[in-house]
Amino acid sequence: DTGVSQDPRHKITKRGQNVTFRCDPISEHNRLYWYRQTLGQGPEFLTYFQNEAQLEKSRLLSDRFSAERPKGSFSTLEIQRTEQGDSAMYLCASSPQVGTQYFGPGTRLLVL
């Protein structure tokens, strides 16, 4: 399967813990995006990269959130000191320099 992959698919954590999610894009895609989707809503943009450079961060991305793409391939999204409001589906997508975004299956986070 050469699609976008995300790990883990599900994560349950306690409030105050740190969590990290991983996204592996389609191999030839140099742009990588993170979105968050809460129940009954459309996905909301968090941040995106071109290769290893982070091009834009949404105001939704508080100081507790950090994303990296150190070698321009896979990316990680870390949430520190999780809160119940962080419970959501975290989606990763990738695209070529010019072209459409393709999404991974998502990581569902539940903060207790």
Partner 1 sequence: GDSVTQMEGPVTLSEEAFLTINCTYTATGYPSLFWYVQYPGEGLQLLLKATKADDKGSNKGFEATYRKETTSFHLEKGSVQVSDSAVYFCALTDSGEGNTPLVFGKGTRLSVIA
Of 5 and 13, nearer to partner 1 (C-beta) is: 5
Neighbours of 31 (CB within 10 A): 18
Distance CA 64, CA 69 (A): 17
Q: If binding is defined by CB under 8 A, does position 8 make contact with partner 1? A: no
Taking the C-alpha atoms of residue 90 and residue 99, their distance in angstroms, rounded to an integer, is 22
Select 55 or 112, whichever has its Cβ closest to partner 1.
55
Query: Minimum Å distance from CB 34 to partner 1?
Result: 10
Torsional class of 105: left (φ above 0), alpha (ψ -120 to 50), beta (otherwise): alpha
Q: How far is the CB of 47 from partner 1 (least distance, A)?
A: 9
Q: Scanning residues 11 to 70, which ones bind partner 1 (CB under 8 A)?
A: 31, 33, 35, 40-45, 48, 56, 58
Q: How far is the CB of 64 from partner 1 (least distance, A)?
A: 20
The only residue of 100, 110, 111, 112 in contact with partner 1, by rule CB under 8 A: 100
CA dist 79 and 76 (Å) reads 10
Question: Cis peptide leading into 8, omega within 30 of 0?
Answer: yes
- Footprint of partner 1 on this chain (CB under 8 A)? 31, 33, 35, 40-45, 48, 56, 58, 91, 93, 95-106
